[in-house]
């Protein structure tokens, strides 16, 4: 759901009620400004970013997926960064 900052001031109670059901994006000057979330949704986001596990708690499947992964070589990393820089420069031009 999206509301303007003016609508938020006019209908604060209704907007808060809606935010309990789904995030509400508040726009200002036709641009996203802030998002209002329920306390439960906010806490879920906070917990998600702090989620850490001991390696001993990983399942065999998770360990296999980690073992199958590979780090890019330094050359691959440099090539990727050069491609990203070129794309950004082309966008700015």
Domain boundaries, the chain: 2-92
- Beta carbons of 24 and 2 less than 8 angstroms apart: yes
The answer for residues whose C-beta is within 8 angstroms of residue 76's C-beta and 6 or more apart is none
Per mean pLDDT, which range of 2-11, 32-41, 59-68 is the poorest?
Answer: 59-68
The answer for residues whose C-beta is within 8 angstroms of residue 33's C-beta and 6 or more apart is 5, 26, 27
Q: Is the pLDDT of residue 50 over 70?
A: no
Chain centroid to CA 43: 14
For residue 39, what pLDDT band results from cuts at 50, 70 and 90?
very high
In CATH terms, the fold of domain 2-92 is YefM-like fold (3.40.1620)
What mean pLDDT is predicted for residues 32-47? 91
């Amino acid at each position: 759901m999206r509301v303007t900052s003016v609508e938020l001031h006019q209908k604060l109670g209704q907007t808060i009620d809606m935010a309990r059901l789904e995030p509400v994006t508040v726009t200002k000057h036709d641009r996203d400004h802030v998002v209002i979330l329920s306390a439960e949704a906010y806490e879920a986001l906070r917990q998600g970013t702090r989620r850490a596990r001991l390696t001993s708690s990983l399942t065999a499947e998770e360990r296999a997926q980690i073992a199958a992964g590979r780090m890019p070589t330094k050359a691959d990393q440099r090539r990727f960064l050069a491609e990203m820089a070129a794309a950004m420069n082309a966008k700015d031009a």
